[in-house]
Chain A
Amino acid sequence: MMFFLEKNDLPELLRRASAYFEIIAPVLVNGEPQLVSWRGEDLALGAPNPLLPPTRLFLPPRETLFTYLQESGLYTFQVPQVKERLIVGVRPCDLRALSLLDRIMLSEPADELYSKRRRSTAIVALSCTEPSESCFCAQMGSGPEAHEGFDLLLTDLGERYLLETGSPDGIMLARLSEELLERGDDAEKRALMRESRERILSARPWLSQERMRSKLREIDWRSMSRECISCGGCSFVCPTCHCFTIADLGLPDGERIRCADSCILSGFHRMASGANPKARPEERLLSWYMEKLEYMLSRAGMPGCVGCGRCERVCFSGLHKTDLFR
């Protein structure tokens, strides 16, 4: 179903939803867009995509899997509560990353916390009418339009939004604000999205998945990687990265935590003997891209890069500039 929603009425729609959900939305914190619990602040839907990808709300960089308490030799365990959430402003690239993560984290045996969070979270997506310079979702087939995976979808038409429902939950949510909505159509949206897509494609007309894959082995990773400081940043912001490590902190009581990890870090590959098959940054960078562009594709049926451009925004070197594949 398609509706028009006056821009001023979006906060009211969210307020009504907040009776059922904790609302997470991008707002400006000291001038920079951040995903936070929404308390009625101005929404920063027009700002660039926040650095912390929304996928990290399902698989946080640091989370407690359970806490343990020891009493006279017996352990009791406590698992964290998962709350009902509505995330507003998820872009098509991140939406695609989420469905890729679903294929990985929910395949048997499903990851319990991830699946609980996934089940209790609703998503209001946002079509990308204003792509950033670093975006190349169109080339990766993940944007700037969202086709699935949302409960509601907003498209900024200037004066008002086009609101589309994508699931039974989405219809319920729309019903809560029925009198704010007006029946609509997507003629205007289609024109805007065509424009946006062209803008993204013409910024890098030479870029395509095939090109990236074929270039992978030709790139001189050795000299390129001289400026990589192995900070891990590219993994920590990538919406499809999902590797983690687990540690038990505290004795006799404490917690088992799960932490985002990265194959860009050398210790990730070190074996028990001390030998390291990927001791050099160039080896790790090549394998990072192999994972994104080839292995994920063959394992999960989608490429592991959705073209969100975050890795370029945090990198010390020129290693994640798409120019690499030119």
Chain B
Amino acid sequence: MVLDAIETTCVYCGCGCGLYLHVEDSKIIAVTPSMKPPARGRLCAKGWLLHGFANHPDRLREPLMRRGDRYVQTSWSEVLSFIAKSFADIKRDSGPDALAVLTSAKATNEENYLLMKLCRAALGTNNIDNVARLCHAPTLFALGSSLGSGSMTNPIESLLHSDLIMIIGSNTTEQHPVVSFYVMEARRNGAKIIVMDPRRTQIAEIADLHLQMRPGTDIALLNAILNVVIREGMIDEEFIRSRTDGFDEVHDRVAEYTPEAAERICGVPAELIHDAAVMYGSAGDAAIVYAMGITQHAHGTDNVQAIVNLALATGNLGRDGSGIYPLRGHQNVQGACDMGALPDYYTGYQKVSEFREKFEDSWNVELPASQGRTAIEIMSSAGSEIRGMYISGENPALSYPDSSRIRSALESLDLLVVADIFPTETTRMADVVLPIASFAEKYGTVTSTERKVQLIRKAIDPPGNALPEWVVAAKLLEIFGISAGYDSSAAVMREIAALTPSYGGISHERLERGGIHWPCPTQEHPGTPVLYRDGFPRGRALFRHVDQHECGDGRFTLIIGRSQYHFHTGSMTRRVCILEREVPEAFVDVNPKDAASLGIRNGTGVILESESGTIRARARLSDSVSSGTLFMPFHFRESPANMLTGWQLDPHSKIPSLKITSVSIRREGA
């Protein structure tokens, strides 16, 4: 019966806020923020209410196996040998590429690493991916190919040094609250803020300029800004000459993107575009912050590239206060990618095609060379080429596009193993359900959006027989005859560090004293908060011209996003009574003018229909969206917004176009 305070990292968004769990008798009774950066004493409501779900009675406590349409409790040893045997059977009959693993952005680095090892070394396939495919795959591709590293260039705190912060496609106050704290601090210290968003969000209200473009017209807008910056002579010629390639083509081709031309595409007055460009171009240190409003498009990679072009042309990289800030959605989505839970990379973005031998030598097994599939490709071949799948802590039945198609894909598998902390729409389809320890019940590391590797610490015991997933993965590896004798997650990190240059100097012992920004190649290295101070890893950074793509022609464009009080598919936040009380059901924001013409009032039930499906939700009249635009969050199984989305993929990164969908809307019963 003791009262304790354990410092750990928030489980929800990629801000990576440090906080203390106050624990009494293995129950979390309170949460307070850490005073260290990035939290610096601040948390959003989800963070303050983190005591709400870990001790919830709905937690999965025992391994479950399907018998007919019921689940029966079983032991770990039985369930693990069943999984191993079934996967081995599938592998024997249909080859290793009939298997696939989707890892979790909620799991630790150590867990992602062991699942990656399990997939490649034991199952023998590169069919591994994680939820980054649905949020920042375009970032990885565009920033990786043009700058050398597919992640945030500067730490969050760097925003305090910015003279100007341009925010595009990010509802920062709601989705990355603690980043918005730094934006607001910067503003209080005199920084200018420009927000580009089809919705008038809270951060847009605070901004000096808000450019409310039509959904999906980001490239036209960004190109037009570059166009003005060039015409007004505000580019950084020295930077372009000494550190980049490919500017000339961009220079010539953005000439057609005059503010007037962009106005016709984006619906933003040319004058406002001009003002924003001058404001951006004349700022000393300017930062660009973006999130899924940029990436979740069938041309997401091009969107990100347009941002890169702008930052390169003005030399806004490699200094405090400048830089590009892709904001990651999950606590450890950065880490899941860093750990090689990607079909084409091992840890630290070491290409499968180049580094296979290195990993074969270290793990002492032969590794697959075949091309792995991405998340959406895995789903689309489920039931045909893919027959067995391990899903760790994700809920694709609700979070992936075109939910009904996903559900039938999952149903048609021979073996579906799902590991999670709560029953979800996806565990309900599983043949085997594994009960997993939550973030508060295990040790490990997670990597936040600012490339900061931080510890999570065990505060309470897992319920029932739930186990940390690294233990599960280690046991499975052992059954497959690939043992490395891991006795703790710190031991797993030692193996990661030995194999991964950017994590080379990272160990749990060091992290006890605070987080470290990768790259951190050696034990003595302090970490690298700001990238590209003295150059780009690929030599010179690359411009690449991108053109605006065709936009949807439907009468209504639905934007799908989030509420600040819920996280992802709500499996955690909807079990926290106060968060659930704040936003208990899905809503569709409708502009009052549209509402009048459709006969819709505040609170009216409406039917939304797209090519993929039909759902019902309640209308909320709001002038935060313009006429023709609708907005809806996707957390709610009762109104699953992703029933409406389709499977158009970005050709480079294979991200599906989750952000916008052409829909029709009508009053329920009309």
Bound CA–CA A229/B47 (angstroms): 13
The yes or no answer to B22 lying at the interface (CB within 8 A) is yes
| Contact indicator per residue, chain B 158-194, by CB within 8 Å of chain A (1) or not (0) | 0000000000000001100100110010001000000
- Knowing A51-B32, A61-B51, the reply to whether A232 touches B20 (Cβ < 8 A) is no
Chain B: residues with Cβ within 8 Å of the partner, total of 53
The yes or no answer to A266 lying at the interface (CB within 8 A) is yes
Whether B578 contacts A267 by the Cβ 8 Å rule is yes
Whether A52 contacts B22 by the Cβ 8 Å rule is yes
Whether B173 contacts A229 by the Cβ 8 Å rule is yes
Chain B min CB distance to A184 (Å): 31
User: Most B CB atoms within 10 A — which of A63, A230, A255, A266?
Assistant: A230
- Knowing A37-B4, A249-B56, A249-B57, the reply to whether A316 touches B42 (Cβ < 8 A) is yes
Contact of B20 among A34, A37, A266 (CB under 8 A): A34
Bound CA–CA A260/B45 (angstroms): 12
The yes or no answer to A202 lying at the interface (CB within 8 A) is no
Whether B206 contacts A62 by the Cβ 8 Å rule is no
- Knowing A29-B20, A266-B582, the reply to whether A35 touches B5 (Cβ < 8 A) is yes
Whether A267 contacts B20 by the Cβ 8 Å rule is no
Bound CA–CA A237/B41 (angstroms): 11
The yes or no answer to B581 lying at the interface (CB within 8 A) is yes
Stretch in contact with the other chain, from B23-31, B251-259, B537-545, B642-650: B23-31
Residues of A contacting B57 with CB < 8 Å?
A: 249-250, 253-255
Contact of A36 among B4, B29, B49 (CB under 8 A): B4
The yes or no answer to B486 lying at the interface (CB within 8 A) is no
Residues of B contacting A64 with CB < 8 Å?
A: 27
Q: Closest chain B residue to A244 by CB distance?
A: B578
Bound CA–CA A63/B52 (angstroms): 10
The yes or no answer to A164 lying at the interface (CB within 8 A) is no
Chain B min CB distance to A118 (Å): 16
Whether B45 contacts A36 by the Cβ 8 Å rule is no
Q: Closest chain A residue to B603 by CB distance?
A: A274
The yes or no answer to B431 lying at the interface (CB within 8 A) is no
The yes or no answer to A102 lying at the interface (CB within 8 A) is no
Whether A316 contacts B184 by the Cβ 8 Å rule is yes
The yes or no answer to B670 lying at the interface (CB within 8 A) is no
Residues of A contacting B48 with CB < 8 Å?
A: 231-233, 236
The yes or no answer to A193 lying at the interface (CB within 8 A) is no
Whether B20 contacts A24 by the Cβ 8 Å rule is no
Residues of A contacting B564 with CB < 8 Å?
A: 229-230
Whether A62 contacts B184 by the Cβ 8 Å rule is no
Bound CA–CA A65/B45 (angstroms): 23
Bound CA–CA A230/B177 (angstroms): 10
The yes or no answer to A261 lying at the interface (CB within 8 A) is yes
Chain A min CB distance to B27 (Å): 7
Bound CA–CA A12/B24 (angstroms): 25
Residues of B contacting A247 with CB < 8 Å?
A: 577
Bound CA–CA A249/B59 (angstroms): 11
Chain A min CB distance to B198 (Å): 20
The yes or no answer to B44 lying at the interface (CB within 8 A) is yes
Q: Which residues, 226 to 245 on A, are CB-close (under 8 Å) to B?
A: 226-227, 229-233, 236-237, 245
Q: Which residues, 29 to 45 on B, are CB-close (under 8 Å) to A?
A: 29-36, 41-45
Bound CA–CA A245/B52 (angstroms): 12
| Contact indicator per residue, chain B 569-598, by CB within 8 Å of chain A (1) or not (0) | 000000001100111100000000000000
Bound CA–CA A261/B24 (angstroms): 20
Bound CA–CA A24/B22 (angstroms): 13
Contact of A265 among B45, B51, B188 (CB under 8 A): B45
Range class of the A interface residue count: 35 or more
Bound CA–CA A214/B58 (angstroms): 50
Whether A32 contacts B35 by the Cβ 8 Å rule is yes
Whether A63 contacts B41 by the Cβ 8 Å rule is no
Contact of B206 among A32, A227, A265 (CB under 8 A): A227
Residues of B contacting A313 with CB < 8 Å?
A: 41
Whether A36 contacts B173 by the Cβ 8 Å rule is no
The yes or no answer to B478 lying at the interface (CB within 8 A) is no
Contact of A316 among B4, B7, B22, B180 (CB under 8 A): B180
Bound CA–CA A66/B603 (angstroms): 37
Bound CA–CA A253/B58 (angstroms): 11
| Contact indicator per residue, chain A 168-182, by CB within 8 Å of chain B (1) or not (0) | 000000000000000
Whether A61 contacts B603 by the Cβ 8 Å rule is no
Whether A22 contacts B27 by the Cβ 8 Å rule is no
- Knowing A233-B42, A245-B581, the reply to whether A36 touches B27 (Cβ < 8 A) is no
Chain B min CB distance to A205 (Å): 24
Residues of B contacting A266 with CB < 8 Å?
A: 582
Q: Closest chain B residue to A230 by CB distance?
A: B45
User: Most B CB atoms within 10 A — which of A64, A249, A250?
Assistant: A249
Residues of A contacting B584 with CB < 8 Å?
A: 267
Bound CA–CA A190/B535 (angstroms): 62
Residues of B contacting A52 with CB < 8 Å?
A: 5, 20, 22, 30, 32
| Contact indicator per residue, chain B 1-12, by CB within 8 Å of chain A (1) or not (0) | 111111100000
Chain B min CB distance to A84 (Å): 11
Contact of A245 among B42, B578, B603 (CB under 8 A): B578
Residues of B contacting A56 with CB < 8 Å?
A: 30
Whether B3 contacts A318 by the Cβ 8 Å rule is no
The yes or no answer to A317 lying at the interface (CB within 8 A) is yes
Whether A314 contacts B41 by the Cβ 8 Å rule is yes
Bound CA–CA A83/B471 (angstroms): 36
Residues of A contacting B180 with CB < 8 Å?
A: 229, 316
Whether A62 contacts B51 by the Cβ 8 Å rule is yes
Q: Closest chain B residue to A61 by CB distance?
A: B30
Bound CA–CA A132/B60 (angstroms): 45
The yes or no answer to A192 lying at the interface (CB within 8 A) is no
Bound CA–CA A280/B206 (angstroms): 16
Interface contacts beyond A62-B28, A314-B43: sample of 14 additional A-B pairs, CB < 8 Å, sorted by A: A32-B35, A37-B3, A51-B32, A61-B31, A236-B48, A249-B58, A253-B57, A259-B577, A261-B578, A267-B578, A314-B41, A316-B180, A316-B184, A318-B188
Q: List residues of A whose CB falls within 8 A of some B CB.
A: 22, 24, 29-32, 34-37, 50-52, 56-57, 60-64, 81, 83, 226-227, 229-233, 236-237, 245, 247, 249-250, 253-255, 257, 259-261, 265-268, 274, 313-318
Q: Which 6 A-B pairs have the closest CB atoms?
A: A250-B57, A34-B5, A37-B2, A247-B577, A267-B582, A61-B30
Q: List residues of B whose CB falls within 8 A of some A CB.
A: 1-7, 20, 22, 24, 27-36, 41-45, 47-49, 51-52, 55-58, 173-174, 177, 180-181, 184, 188, 202, 205-206, 512, 564, 577-578, 581-584, 603
